[in-house]
Structure 1
Amino acid sequence: MRQYQLALDAAEISLSPSHPQTLQLLQALTHLCRRMGEYDAADEFAKCHNAHVQLGNFEETADAARRLNNLGDVLYKKGEYGKAEPLWKQALQIRLKVLRAEHPDTATSLNNLGSLYESQGRYDETEPLLNQALQIRLKVLGAEHPDTALSLNNLAGLYESQGRYDEAEPLYNQALQICRKVLGVEHPDTATNLSHLALLYNSQGRYDEAEPLCKQALQMRLKVLGAEHPDTATSLNNLGGLYKSQGRYDEAEPLYNQALQMRLKVLGAEHPDTATSLNNLGGLYKSQGRYDEAEPLYNQALQIFLKVLGAEHPDTKTTESNLNRLRDEMAK
């Protein structure tokens, strides 16, 4: 990474900020940091790239759409949904204009915007975008392409969020089979699909089916992504949630704590996933009657959700309800 930075410094000194070589180096740094899970650094490089582009002649081109999409991706992963949305909308409009309605990049923009709306609890806006992206990918890329699997997985996730479990399960299974076949059994996308299927089984009380999938996803992520990657934290959180559902509190607590510390370090104190960990740990303490420890965690999670997602988001409402019920029980 230091070699990239040195090359970038040299390019900015000897060339103009909007020179193609300077822009390419900024893109390389953005992608490298994103792959390493260093989202703050990726965000800074992406912002620098975007600013440099503005110094030149910005045109509505496929490359411009890609740059907007990449910057939106960085902001989305940081939980800055309000900042990501206009970038992804602009990227979609450019792609519809300069590419075609059934281009793979157009499908990517539709999928991204749909995922963003789901993260904000805007389910009615989510479904048509995810369905449209899926249909484009099936037609253009085929039924066994990794991007098709991603669309299947995302649509299944929406259905699960809405309690439509019977519709979600076959999509999750289909996505998992594609990933295993095309990407291999130890690919991060395969781990993601295992994790999502495990969460579905947990929601249905199918614990014996969920646990081996949760553990398998965690081991894959530890091996491929490392111990301090956001997806590894997600697997720790999910396994902790599974144990909590079964009343295995002593096994759940260290997993919840480990996930929280990892998210604080990698994602920061105001990321929605950090708030989720705080809420989950608060719920565990409440289940154990540890009300004095649960209350500040619920309250901290609520403040993050209010700031980042807003008062009407489902996660905000759930956490607020959790806090109010806890306080009612403490008052009694």
Structure 2
Amino acid sequence: MLPHNNYPIGNGALCAVLSLVIRGFMMKLSLRMPVLLLVFLFTSGFVVATEIAFDPQEIPPLNERALLAHQQGDYRQAARLYQQLLPMVAQHFGEQSRERALILSSLADTQLSLRQYLQAEEYYQAALVILQAIADGRGQAIVLNGLAASLYLRRQYGKAEPLFKQALELLEQLPAPDVQNRLLVLDNLASLYKTIRRNNLAEEYQSRANLLRQVTQGPGQPADSQSR
């Protein structure tokens, strides 16, 4: 859930940088031979291509290290590892691959956690372009939620609102329900409207979130809304 005026509110609500889902990805790599990665060095106005060998098998453990660093709150280390991953993933999977979009999105999450909002938004936008091109609705929704959270934290409420709504619409159109992310976006919309004092809409989205929790958890199970 988003904070009210950048501070946690009600029932221990977490700020967006903590409630964002941290995303890793699993990859099966068939290529075992080292790959030559071109690194362009700018020296005295000239571009010099230098070949650096790397093994694609290095990508999954490096991604796991980055994910673990983020989970442990070492956001600077996570950012360094994701930066290291970017050219490797682009070389192996392609510049417009879903894998590269996921790394960009994860890098954006680390920047958001570091309160580097403009950098986070730049990475989210880059990831969004790829995910739109490959028609990954769930991926788009997750990135839009992150982008909207960054705008919210910069008090750009008018820009954040339509992005949260777009994220929710994409999630509701998925053939398989994604309850976790729907709840996250609903809670974020409720917090947004509470912040801008549109209480009727805040109550509407919070009610929708509470109902979804009840439906998915079933009777007799404690609601997790009190722990957010």
State the TM-score, normalized to the length of structure 2.
0.67
Partner of 2:80 in structure 1? 44
Cα contact 1:69–1:88 (8 A) shared by 2? yes
Q: Confirm whether residue 33 of structure 1 aligns to residue 69 of structure 2.
A: yes
1:140 paired residue number: 174
**Alpha-carbon deviations, 1:56-114, whole Å to 9, x = none?**
674211111111111111111111111111110011111111225xx111111222111
**Distance in 1 between the 2:143 and 2:54 partners?**
25
- State yes or no: 1:99 paired with 2:135: yes
Q: 2:183 aligns with which of 149, 158, 163?
A: 149
Could you tell me how far apart the structure 1 residues matched to 2:73 and 2:175 are?
28
2:165 aligns with: 131
Structure in which a larger fraction of residues adopt helix:
1
Q: Give the Cα–Cα distance (whole angstroms) in 1 for the partners of residues 101 and 95 of structure 2.
A: 10
- How many residues are treated as equivalent by the alignment? 176
Q: 2:59 aligns with which of 14, 23, 35?
A: 23
Could you say what secondary structure the match of 1:37 adopts?
Answer: coil
Residue 8 of structure 2 is matched in structure 1 by none
Q: 1:127 to 1:49 in 2, by over 3 A?
A: same
Specify the alignment match of 2:104 in structure 1. 68
Aligned counterpart, 2:205: 171
Q: In the superposition, relative to structure 1, how do residues 179 and 48 fare at CA in structure 2: closer, same or farther (>3 Å)?
A: farther
Q: Which is bigger in relative contact order (C-alpha 8 A, separation at least 6)?
A: 2
Q: CA deviation at 1:44?
A: 2.2
What is the CA-CA distance between 1:33 and the residue it aligns to? 1.9
Look up the match of 1:263. none
Deviations 1:259-284 (A, max 9, x none): xxxxxxxxxxxxxxxxxxxxxxxxxx
Does structure 1 retain, via aligned residues, the 8 Å contact 2:171–2:178? no
Q: Contact 1:96 / 1:106 at 8 angstroms: preserved in 2?
A: yes
Residues 1:41 and 1:177: Cα distance change in structure 2 (over 3 Å): farther
**TM-score, normalisation: structure 1:** 0.47
**CA shift at 1:142, angstroms?**
6.6
Structure 2 contact 56–88 (Cα < 8 Å) conserved: no
- The answer for unaligned runs of 5 or more in structure 2 is 1-32, 36-52
One-letter identity of the residue aligned with 2:154: Q
Residue type matched to 2:67 in 1?
H
Match of 1:109 among 115, 132, 143: 143
Deviation, 1:174, is 2.9
CA contact (8 A) 2:34 2:56 kept: no
- Counting aligned pairs with the same residue, the percent is 24
Structure 2 match to 1:83: 119
Q: For residue 140 of structure 1, give the secondary structure of its aligned residue in structure 2.
A: coil
Whole-angstrom CA distance in 1 between matches of 2:122 and 2:187: 24
Q: How does 1:1-332 map to 2 (within 5 A)?
A: 15=34, 18-53=54-89, 58-100=94-136, 103-140=137-174, 145-179=179-213, 182=216, 185=222, 190=224, 193-194=225-226, 217=227
C-alpha distance in 1 between matches for 2:110 and 2:54: 21
- Residue 126 of structure 1: how far off its partner (Å): 1.1
Task: Give me the whole-angstrom Cα distance separating, in 2, the residues matched to 1:130 and 1:39.
Answer: 24
SS of match in other structure, 2:148: helix
Q: Is the 2:151–2:160 Cα contact (8 Å) retained in structure 1?
A: yes
CA RMSD of aligned residues (A): 2.7
The structure with the largest alpha-carbon Rg is 1
Q: Following the alignment from structure 2 to structure 1, what is the Cα–Cα distance between the partners of residues 60 and 87?
A: 14
